[in-house]
Structure 1
Amino acid sequence: MTGELRVDPIACRAHGMCAELLPEMIELDEWGYPIIAPGPVTSRLRADAAVAVAACPTLALRLRR
């Protein structure tokens, strides 16, 4: 099963934890806001993506199935 990462740009406050926890799919722009790689989250990265979602201090990161 795959999923897709989404970020709520209104809720995000550019803490950058998501990029530290999931660098394979998330990089930060020049202001520290996440840029999510297009495409599904592979089964290999699913657990790491779930950790990144849970660690977001503003609950801006979501993993949709």
Structure 2
Amino acid sequence: MEIDLTSVEWRTSSYSGGNGQCVEVASAAEAVAIRDSKDREGPALTFTAEAWGAFILGVRAGELAEA
């Protein structure tokens, strides 16, 4: 399914230092979208709100190991 991201408002974390080493997040009607802040014209990954919520809960709970 193609999701129109042309009119979404992209946000970066308040913890971002503005050095281009982060991602941007936007909420669309059908999904949550993620893109690389260094490549704003490039592709975006999209997730259902449920999948994104599960990811955030996992991050907050420390369930993702550092590589």
TM-score by length of 1: 0.29
Considering fraction of residues, name the structure with more helix: 1
Give the number of the structure with larger relative contact order, counting CA–CA contacts within 8 Å between residues 6 or more apart: 1
Structure having the higher Rg:
2
TM-score by length of 2: 0.28
